């Protein structure tokens, strides 16, 4: 680990100080990693995105340079989202992005094959488009794989897009979907809601945690592996004291008020952090935990983020811990290809204050405001001006 840290420090010194390269790290207030792109917001509420742009997910149609490996439109460095909107928060999903402005309005852009932009119809948009609901002020938004969810100032949750498995939570039969926001059933007053691939989880203002949608691998967190089109309480004592829930492809993780982490659902890549990696994967034999199981972490956790096959958590002291698949270096530990079933720190001596995990990469913001990313980079999603993958944190470069 010391050797990896030294290598990272050496690389950063070259990138930042070499006058011929003229590379400047990018400072951000918040960051969000999606499937193959990432976005962030500066201190003056300006949104930037980088990575894949084949579906307009960067929110800037001018960013159309083909990446050499994928041959899809991308930007290897951050580009400003069009529209001159002032954003308070942003969420990068699968080939699309959504954000909340400082006035509480919701905007989405990119792919819209399932109506996930919430603008009515299924036409894509390469620029921010106002979500189709009037008289509602949002406080947060979460872009998933094919559906989006947001929470209003009153704690009401709305979802839109695909409803395969019932992940919109509207109470109707699974299937179909909605191209405009639809109220989540159950009258739960939510603090936050997070959209995964085919399920959704939310934390109520009273600390209770609910999930809904597809449940083949126990990702909803109930003992019965049946889908639910309405919010259902996650099993176990932790359900009354959760502070954040992070659903993903077929599993979920959460952190409670004591800083303890719990995960449930599929665990074939070690992404549940339960000390062991199953030898066999595949439905219906895929090993999983249908109720929350405790993850052993060396310190209290303040936030957690999950992706397709790996998870990362931010400790109260600013250390980032990752576990799960590492085929693209997405664990950030200086190594590549080795799955890890227990949480371990990313390389380097930086301390962080924000974290977001993407499909096969992750991003974080250091305490000095500089943004870093690591892992897969075929579409420029690391934002460092290249398409070379990195198994250790590398700084996002200023536009």
Percent helix, strand and coil across the chain, each to the nearest 5: 5, 45, 50
Q: In angstroms, rounded to a whole number, what is the distance separating the alpha carbons of residues 275 and 199?
A: 25
Q: How far apart are the first and last CA of the chain?
A: 31
Tokens linked to 281: 């994967």
**What CATH code is carried by the domain that includes residue 85?**
2.130.10.30
Asked, for residue 1, whether it belongs to a domain, the answer is no
pTM over 0.85: yes
pLDDT tens string for the chain (399 positions)? Answer: 333 333 333 334 334 333 334 589 999 999 999 999 999 999 999 999 999 999 999 999 887 788 888 889 999 999 999 999 999 999 999 999 999 999 999 999 999 999 999 999 999 999 999 999 989 999 999 999 999 999 999 999 999 999 998 999 999 888 889 999 999 999 999 999 999 999 999 999 988 899 999 998 888 888 778 899 999 999 876 544 455 666 667 889 998 888 999 998 888 888 888 877 655 555 555 557 778 889 999 999 999 999 888 999 999 999 999 999 999 999 999 999 988 999 999 999 999 999 999 999 999 999 999 999 999 999 999 999 999 999 999 999 999
Q: Which residues contact 330 (CB under 8 A, 6 or more apart)?
A: 307, 310, 322, 324, 357, 358, 360, 361, 362, 374, 375, 376
Q: In this predicted structure, what is the pLDDT of residue 270? A: 87
Asked, for residue 39, whether it belongs to a domain, the answer is yes
Determine the structural domain holding residue 123 and report its residue range: 24-395
Tokens linked to 320: 């980032």
Tokens linked to 366: 């250091």
Tokens linked to 18: 């070499």
Asked, for residue 10, whether it belongs to a domain, the answer is no
Asked, for residue 15, whether it belongs to a domain, the answer is no
Q: In angstroms, rounded to a whole number, what is the distance separating the alpha carbons of residues 262 and 273?
A: 9
> Domain tally for the chain?
1
Asked, for residue 6, whether it belongs to a domain, the answer is no
Asked, for residue 116, whether it belongs to a domain, the answer is yes
Distances (CA, A) of 317 to 143, 273, 297, 339: 28, 20, 13, 25
Asked, for residue 318, whether it belongs to a domain, the answer is yes
Q: In this predicted structure, what is the pLDDT of residue 243? A: 55
Asked, for residue 11, whether it belongs to a domain, the answer is no
Other C-beta atoms lying within 10 Å of the C-beta of residue 189: 13
Distances (CA, A) of 46 to 16, 117, 204, 215: 23, 20, 30, 38
Find the length of the chain: 399
Q: In this predicted structure, what is the pLDDT of residue 244? A: 61
| 333 within 8 A of 285, measured Cβ to Cβ | no
């Amino acid at each position: 680990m010391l050797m990896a840290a030294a290598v990272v420090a050496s690389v950063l010194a070259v990138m930042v100080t070499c006058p011929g390269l003229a590379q400047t790290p990018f400072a951000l207030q918040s960051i969000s990693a999606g499937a193959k792109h990432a976005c962030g917001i500066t201190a003056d509420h300006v949104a930037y995105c980088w990575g894949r742009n084949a579906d307009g997910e960067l929110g800037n149609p001018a960013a159309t340079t083909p990446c050499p490996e994928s041959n899809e439109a991308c930007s290897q460095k951050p580009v400003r989202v069009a529209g001159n909107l002032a954003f308070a928060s942003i969420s990068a999903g699968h080939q699309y992005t959504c954000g909340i402005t400082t006035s509480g309005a919701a905007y989405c852009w990119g792919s819209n094959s399932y109506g996930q932009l919430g603008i009515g119809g299924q036409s894509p948009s390469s620029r921010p488009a106002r979500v189709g609901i009037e008289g509602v002020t949002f406080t947060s938004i979460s872009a998933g794989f094919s559906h989006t969810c947001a929470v209003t100032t009153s704690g009401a949750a709305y979802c839109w897009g695909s409803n395969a498995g019932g992940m919109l939570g509207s109470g109707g039969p699974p299937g179909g979907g909605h191209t405009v926001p639809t109220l989540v059933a159950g009258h739960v007053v939510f603090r936050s809601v997070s959209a995964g691939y085919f399920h959704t989880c939310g934390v109520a203002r009273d600390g209770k945690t609910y999930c809904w949608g597809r449940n083949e691998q126990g990702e909803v967190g109930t003992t019965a592996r049946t889908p639910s089109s309405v919010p259902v309480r996650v099993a176990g004592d932790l359900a009354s004291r959760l502070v954040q829930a992070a659903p993903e492809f077929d599993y979920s993780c959460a952190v409670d008020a004591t800083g303890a982490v719990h995960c449930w659902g599929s665990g074939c890549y070690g992404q549940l952090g339960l000390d062991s990696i199953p030898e066999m994967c595949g439905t219906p034999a895929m090993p999983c935990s249908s109720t929350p199981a405790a993850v052993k972490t060396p310190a209290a956790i303040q936030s957690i983020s999950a992706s397709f096959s790996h998870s990362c958590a931010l400790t109260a002291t600013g250390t980032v811990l990752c576990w799960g698949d590492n085929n693209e270096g997405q664990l950030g530990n200086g190594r590549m290809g080795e799955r890890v079933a227990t949480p371990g720190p990313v390389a380097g001596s930086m301390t962080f204050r924000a974290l977001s995990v993407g499909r096969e990469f992750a991003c974080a913001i250091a305490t000095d405001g500089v943004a870093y990313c690591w892992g897969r980079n075929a579409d420029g999603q690391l934002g460092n001006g290249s398409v070379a993958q990195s198994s250790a944190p590398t700084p996002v470069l200023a536009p």
